[in-house]
Amino acid sequence: MTPPVVARILIADDDANIREALRELLESEDGLEVVGVAVDAIEAVEMAARERPDVAILDVKMPGGGGPRAARGILVESPQTRIVALSAYGDRASILEMLSAGAAAYLVKGSMPDEVTQTIQRVLRGESAFSAEVASTVVRELSDQLAGKEEAEAKRARVLSRVQEVIEHGGIHPVYQPIVDLARGRVTGVEALSRFDTGMPLQWFEEASDVGLREDLEASALAVSLAGLPALPTDSYLSLNLSPSTLLRRDVARLLGAVPLERIVIEMTEHYAVSDYEALNRALQPLRQAGVRVAVDDAGAGFASLRHILLLVPDIIKLDISLTRGIDGDRPRRALSCALVAFARETGTTIVAEGIETDAELRTLKEIGVTQGQGFLIARPMVPPIDERRILEILGV
C-alpha cells in the first residue's frame, strides 16, 4: 500500500501565540506536517535550507529582515518551496513587497482556520491564493497605479504638444540684458534671455527636457535671439546660454555660422552636466578659432562651475548672483569674489558680476576689482534698442 503524501510545512513568526496556533491547526490536518518553527528571518532561511519544506508560512514583519528577506533567502536555498505571507497588516506596500519577493499566497492574521488550510492546499497544487481582503487591496493598488500612469501619460502628452507648438509656430520672445563696463558705462555685451506668453522660462525648459525636446527648444530660442543681433550696439557681443548637447547640433552650427562669430559668447552653466570635457573642447575649438568666446556662468554657485573654469579655460567668468547679493555686508562673499577676481587677473580672464541690484553692491564690486556687470540696478532685460544714456546716468558716468 502506497503511504499517503505528506506536505512539509515551515512556520516563521516572532509571535509565540501565532506560532503555536498555526502548529496546532496544521498538525490536526491529514497530510500536513510541521517540520520547523522559526522566530526570525535568518532562522527561517537556515531551517528551510536544512528541511526543504514544501510550504513556508512567513510573518511579514518578523525580525531579521522580515518576510521579504526570508522569502528571497528560502527560494535560493529551496527553490521548490512555496511561500505564504502572513501579516496582521493588510497594507498594500507589504502585500506588493511580499509578492515581489516570490510569495504565492497572502493571509491576514485572524483568518478562519478553513481559509488557512485551503490556502495551503491551493499553493501545494501550484495555484496562487489570496484572501478576499488581500485580493481587493491588490486590485486597488493596481488600479491606482494604472490611473497614475494614465494621468502621467496624459500630462506628458499635454506638455509635448505645448512645447512643440512653441517650437514650430513661435512663442519664444527674446529679451536682452546689457552687460556694461562699470567704470565707463559702456555696453560691452548683452545676454539673450527667453520669455514666453505664459509661464516661467525655467519651467518651459524643464518641461521640454522631461519630454525630450530641450535641445529643440534651445535651438529655437537661439534662432530668435540671433535675429536680434543687428539691433544691438555694434561694438557689443551677444551672450547665449547653450547646453553642451545643443551646441553639438548641426542646425545650431548653421545658425552660428550665419552671424559674425567674433560677436558671440557662449555661456556654460553648471546646470548642464558635462560628461566629456575633451569632446566639448574639440567642438568649441573651431568656434573659438573663428572668434567665439566662452563664458562660465554661475561661478561660485557650486563645485561644477569651478570645474568648468579649470577644464574649459573660459574667456569670461560670470559671478553668480548668490555671491553678488549682499556682498557689501558679507565678508565670506567678498573674500570668495576677491579670489575669483585674482584668478581672472592671473589668467587674463574677464569677470562679469551678475545680479547687481543695489548701489552698495555695485560700489563693493568695483572696489574689489570687478570691471563688468549686469543686473536690475543697471538695466532690466529689454527689447532693443538699448538705452545707453540711461545706463550712463545710473552709473554716474
pLDDT at position 355: 95
What CA–CA distance (Å, rounded) separates 83 from 75? 8
pLDDT at 228: 95
Give tens-digit pLDDT for 175-230.
Answer: 999 999 999 999 999 999 999 999 899 999 999 999 999 999 999 999 999 999 99
State how far the Cα of 51 lies from the Cα of 30, in Å rounded to an integer. Answer: 20
pLDDT for 135 beyond 60: no
Question: Is the torsion defined by CA of 231, 237, 243, 245 positive or negative?
Answer: positive
Q: How far is CA 351 from CA 18, 47, 134, 299, in A?
A: 73, 70, 65, 10
**pLDDT tens-digit readout, 250-294:** 899 999 999 999 999 999 876 677 878 888 898 899 999 999 999
Least confident of 8-17, 223-232, 242-251: 242-251
- Predicted pLDDT of residue 307: 82
- Could you tell me the three cell numbers for 316? 569670461
DSSP label of 112: -
Cα–Cα distance between 124 and 101 in angstroms, integer? 18
pLDDT of 1 reads 45
Q: What percent of the chain has pLDDT over 90?
A: 65
Q: What is the pLDDT of residue 302?
A: 67
Please give the pLDDT value at position 353: 97
The Cα–Cα gap between 279 and 372 comes to 30
Residue 394 CB neighbour total at 10 angstroms: 15
Q: How confident is the model at residue 360 (pLDDT cuts 50, 70, 90)?
A: very high
Query: For 24-39, what is each residue's pLDDT tens digit?
Result: 999 898 899 999 999 9
Whether residue 348 has pLDDT greater than 90: yes
Could you read off the pLDDT of 93-105 as tens digits, one per residue? Answer: 777 788 888 888 8
Question: What average pLDDT does this structure show over 45-70?
Answer: 93
Domains of the chain: 7-137 (3.40.50.2300), 170-395 (3.20.20.450)
Give the cell for residue 353.
Answer: 558680476
Taking residues 354-369, report their average pLDDT: 96
Confidence (pLDDT) at 342:
95
pLDDT for residue 367 is more than 90: yes
- Could you tell me the pTM of the whole model? 0.66
What pLDDT band is residue 49 in, cutting at 50, 70 and 90?
A: very high
Rounded CA-CA distance 17/160 in Å is: 58
